[in-house]
Amino acid sequence: MASFVDRVVLHVSGGAGGHGCVSVKREKFKPLGGPDGGNGGDGGDVILRVDGQTTTLLDYHHAPHRHAGNGGPGMGDWRAGKTGETLVLSVPEGTVVKTKDGKVLADLVGMGAEYIAAAGGQGGLGNASLSSQKRKAPGFALLGTPGDERDIVLELKSIADIALVGFPSAGKSSLIAAMSAARPKIADYPFTTLIPNLGVVQAGDVRFTVADVPGLIEGASEGKGLGHHFLRHVERCAALVHVLDCAALETDRDPLGDLDVIEAELEKYEVDMSYAGADGDVVPLNQRPRLVALNKVDVPDGRDMAEFVRPELEKRGYRVFEVSAASHEGLRELGFAMAAIVAEARKAVETAPPRVAPPVVRPRSVNAKGGFTIRREERNLEPLFRVLGEKPVRWVQQTDFTNDEAVGYLADRLAKLGVEDQLFKAGAKPGDAVVIGEGDGVVFDWEPTMIGGAELLAASPRGSDIRIEEFSRPTRNEKREDHQKRKDARAAARAELEAERKAGIWTESVNYKHSRPTSGDDD
Ligand SMILES: Nc1nc2c(ncn2[C@@H]2O[C@H](COP(=O)(O)OP(=O)(O)OP(=O)(O)O)[C@@H](O)[C@H]2O)c(=O)[nH]1
Ligand SMILES: [Mg+2]
């Protein structure tokens, strides 16, 4: 049986929201019928969902980049863009979703359990939705925001119901081969198995999976040998079977000693408690149901050894099976005992509701009470103020910076949220750099709306927002000054000309034509 992929890094991105539309209704005899630009559609989510048909993460190993559908753009005549298609990724039961640095995001247990791996972006509002009493015909629309983009790790602890544990060469792989159709590699040198093999066993009407965990040795729980890496596959197994070698050649080994070593390792192995539900239902490995299989009883010495240790094992409370992977002796009984435990465990799972980790906490910690925070930084010895918060960042994403009206709308929103006030309080001065969001973001030269800006904002109708004008248009005083300067320059030029004419440099007609380049501006 092919080895199974049990850990994969998946790059998921939600669909982008569609842009809102700017459009004006046009009808016969009614050329300006008001804004009718529709909203952009939301982007689709990427959802992980447990389904019974999927047993491995192999698909994601082959194609680790997954993207949900983008939302469609809004259109004229109030038509909304289509919603982006949700992308459902099927994952096996027991898939654990983690961040790259190991934080558990979700533990998908139960058929149909879901987790939103990447949310789609928001569709932008069209100009119809943006119109209001004050802003009757917005000449802008909001852009759709990009979907979440994340790298997540999917881990499949084990899809085996039962794990076979034991020393190297105890015969675990041989037992799987004998009890199922699996054909693992079997050899008489230790650590033959490098990746757990899975076999499907049918006992009566119960079908279950068995994994052979590569040989455990003393110190496995601390990372010795290969066992440590694989003990985590055992974490989800309903039960364990100790496979004890009754015909081991090493004289310093015996089944009871082997069992003690393995038990000690199981006890030391800390099951990842982050997988526990609210009721803390992760059972330590050494408290799970365990059976003992005394293997290799086909060998005469093995039979003697098995009979010798059986009473002691039973005294310790184990159900003991004398088996031989070679002659298949005792395998039927062992199989039925396993099946009974599996059936019991399944009944418990079925009655339990689907369980997923608590909803993901997105990094919203930067959002103070007001929905944003301001951080003072320094860049090239100049102060820089960083505005952090989900809303401001989204608003910037929604802004078409080529459209002055849209920029003004952004300024309105930021001011309303109190960003301007807080910038003042943080010590920002006009002209300081302000960045919204992490990274390079969008950098503004801060042009505060002045003292009392709030009133100005409220009073000025959109479309004649003085703050935008300030960016592009000089003030009246500046204009006057400018005008005066030009007037003076012209006067000087005329005086010079006059002097030159008197000196006889130009003929009358020519100098007139060429000496009034700015006269058109004169008023
Ligand atoms: N006589 C006899 N030999 C067996 C029996 N089961 C396994 N063996 C032999 O023991 C050796 C090791 O068997 P494996 O099944 O590879 O052992 P393992 O426990 O999977 O070993 P690792 O993968 O190294 O942990 C092989 O040479 C097998 O043929 C048995 O019931 N009787
Ligand atoms: Mg093996």
Distance 296 CA to ligand 1 centre (A): 8
Instruction: Please report which helix (H) or strand (E) contains residue 347, including its range.
Output: helix 331-351
Find out whether the beta carbon of 168 lies less than 6 Å from any atom of ligand 1.
yes
What ipTM was reported for this prediction?
0.98
**Closest atom of ligand 1 relative to the 323 alpha carbon:** 31
CA distance 283 to 377: 49
Distance 213 CA to ligand 2 centre (A): 7
pLDDT of residue 369: 54
Handedness of CA 146, 143, 376, 373 (dihedral sign): negative
Please give the residue that has the higher pLDDT: either 368 or 69: 69
Say whether pLDDT at 453 is over 50: no
Distance 157 CA to ligand 1 centre (A): 25
DSSP 357-425: PSPP--S-TT--TTS-EEEEEEETTEEEEEEE-HHHHHHHHT--TT-HHHHHHHHHHHHHHTHHHHHHH
Report the nearest-CA residue for atom 8 of ligand 1.
Answer: 171
Residue 371: name the closest of 442, 439, 419 by CA.
Answer: 419
Distance 311 CA to ligand 1 centre (A): 24
pLDDT of residue 518: 43
153-167, 289-303, 345-359: range with highest mean pLDDT: 289-303
CA distance 186 to 215: 12
Percent of the chain with pLDDT over 70: 78
- For the chain, give the mean pLDDT: 80
Helices (H), ranges, 222-254: 227-234
Say whether pLDDT at 106 is over 90: no
Report the nearest-CA residue for atom 1 of ligand 1.
Answer: 296
pLDDT of residue 399: 94
Per-residue pLDDT, averaged over 500-520, amounts to 47
In this structure, the number of other CB atoms found within 10 A of the CB of residue 146 comes to 17
If one residue of 179, 186, 297, 322 were mutated to test the ligand 1 pocket, choosing by the most ligand atoms within 8 A of its CB, it would be 186
Q: Which residues pair with 88 in a beta bridge?
A: 47
Find out whether the beta carbon of 193 lies less than 6 Å from any atom of ligand 1.
yes
Distance 433 CA to ligand 1 centre (A): 71
Query: Which residues sit in the known binding site for Mg(2+)?
Result: 173, 193
Per mean pLDDT, which range of 35-39, 124-128, 379-383, 496-500 is the poorest? 496-500
If one residue of 164, 165, 173 were mutated to test the ligand 1 pocket, choosing by the most ligand atoms within 8 A of its CB, it would be 173
pLDDT tens digits, one per residue of 297-340: 999 999 999 999 999 999 999 999 999 999 999 999 999 999 99
Long-range contact pairs involving 56-62 (C-beta distance under 8 Å, separation at least 24): 56/4, 56/5, 56/92, 56/156, 56/159, 57/4, 57/5, 57/6, 57/7, 57/8, 57/91, 57/92, 57/95, 57/154, 57/156, 58/4, 58/5, 60/8, 60/10, 60/89, 60/154, 61/5, 61/8
Find out whether the beta carbon of 172 lies less than 6 Å from any atom of ligand 1.
yes
CA distance 519 to 169: 103
Say whether pLDDT at 475 is over 50: yes
Report the nearest-CA residue for atom 27 of ligand 1.
Answer: 188
pLDDT of residue 350: 63
CA distance 239 to 42: 46
Per-residue pLDDT, averaged over 360-372, amounts to 51
Say whether pLDDT at 4 is over 70: no
CA distance 330 to 307: 14
Say whether pLDDT at 217 is over 90: no
Residue 266 φ/ψ, nearest 5 degrees: -65, -40
pLDDT of residue 66: 96
Report the nearest-CA residue for atom 6 of ligand 1.
Answer: 171
| Confidence class for position 226, pLDDT limits 50, 70, 90 | low
pLDDT of residue 178: 94
Query: Which residues sit in the known binding site?
Result: 166-173, 191-195, 212-215, 295-298, 324-326
| Confidence class for position 225, pLDDT limits 50, 70, 90 | low
pLDDT of residue 370: 63
Name the DSSP class of 485.
H
Find out whether the beta carbon of 13 lies less than 6 Å from any atom of ligand 1.
no
**CATH number for region 373-472:** 3.30.300.350
Percent of the chain with pLDDT over 90: 39
Find out whether the beta carbon of 173 lies less than 6 Å from any atom of ligand 1.
yes
Answer yes or no: are the C-beta atoms of 160 and 182 closer than 8 Å: no
Distance 169 CA to ligand 1 centre (A): 5
Q: Is 495 left (phi over 0), alpha (psi -120 to 50) or beta?
A: alpha
pLDDT tens digits, one per residue of 122-175: 999 999 999 988 888 899 999 999 999 999 999 886 657 899 999 889 999 999
Bridge pairing between strands 95-98 and 149-156: antiparallel
| Confidence class for position 450, pLDDT limits 50, 70, 90 | very low
CA of 33: how far to CAs of 13, 24, 75, 93, in Å? 39, 6, 16, 56
Say whether pLDDT at 452 is over 80: no
**CATH number for region 1-156:** 2.70.210.12
Find out whether the beta carbon of 329 lies less than 6 Å from any atom of ligand 1.
no
Q: What angle do CA 36, 42, 46 make, to 5 degrees?
A: 170
Distance 255 CA to ligand 2 centre (A): 18
Q: Which residues pair with 291 in a beta bridge?
A: 241, 319
**CATH number for region 162-351:** 3.40.50.300
pLDDT tens digits, one per residue of 170-199: 999 999 999 988 788 887 887 777 777 888
Task: Quote the pTM value.
Answer: 0.56
Say whether pLDDT at 517 is over 80: no
